């Protein structure tokens, strides 16, 4: 098993409801370690670049508006198979399909307000981490 790093965002719907600690606890209980974390107010420009892969999709504007509506917590998680483990802990994008005990099953309000984002591949994780964190901020 390989030690990996992955990127995570605790989204506006969760920070607004003070769920940051409960969500971080789920990551840590599953064996992931938070090696970098900061609470930020994402700008529209940051959201548009970060979610640029979706720029031609009908929900792009709504997604960007949502992501700048409240502060978010961006973080780097580390552990064995961190990318897959993080995605398992998050649960399905649609909370109605998310397994019991997952973050989205417990905390998501809807498909759009689903409390968390997580990288889907090593390349994505590396790019997403670099977008929000400098190497000096990553303390493992």
* Domain locations along the chain: 3-137
Reading the chain (140 residues) residue by residue, the pLDDT tens digits are 689 999 999 999 999 999 999 999 999 999 999 999 999 999 999 999 999 999 999 999 999 999 999 999 999 999 999 999 999 999 999 999 999 999 999 999 999 999 999 999 999 999 999 999 997 788 76
Distances (CA, A) of 34 to 73, 79, 109, 110, 137: 12, 9, 25, 26, 12
* 54 classed as catalytic: no
Is 104 annotated in a binding site? The answer is yes
Whether residue 16 is annotated as binding a ligand: the answer is no
pTM: 0.94
Residue of 117, 128, 132, 133 marked active site? 117
Is 38 a known ligand-binding residue? Answer: no
CATH code for 3-137? 3.30.70.141
> Has 59 been labeled as part of a binding site?
yes
């Amino acid at each position: 098993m390989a030690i990996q790093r992955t990127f995570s965002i605790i989204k506006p719907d969760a920070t607004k409801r003070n769920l940051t600690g409960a969500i971080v606890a789920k990551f840590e209980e599953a064996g992931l370690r938070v090696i970098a974390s900061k609470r930020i107010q994402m700008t529209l420009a940051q959201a548009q670049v970060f979610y640029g892969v979706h720029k031609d999709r009908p929900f792009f504007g709504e997604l960007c508006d949502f992501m700048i509506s409240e502060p978010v917590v961006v973080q780097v998680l580390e552990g064995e198979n961190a990318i897959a483990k993080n995605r398992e802990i998050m649960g399905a994008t649609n909370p109605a399909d998310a397994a019991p005990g997952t973050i989205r099953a417990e905390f998501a309000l809807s498909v759009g307000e689903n409390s968390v984002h997580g990288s889907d591949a090593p390349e994505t994780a590396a790019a997403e981490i670099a977008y929000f964190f400098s190497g000096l901020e990553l303390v493992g």
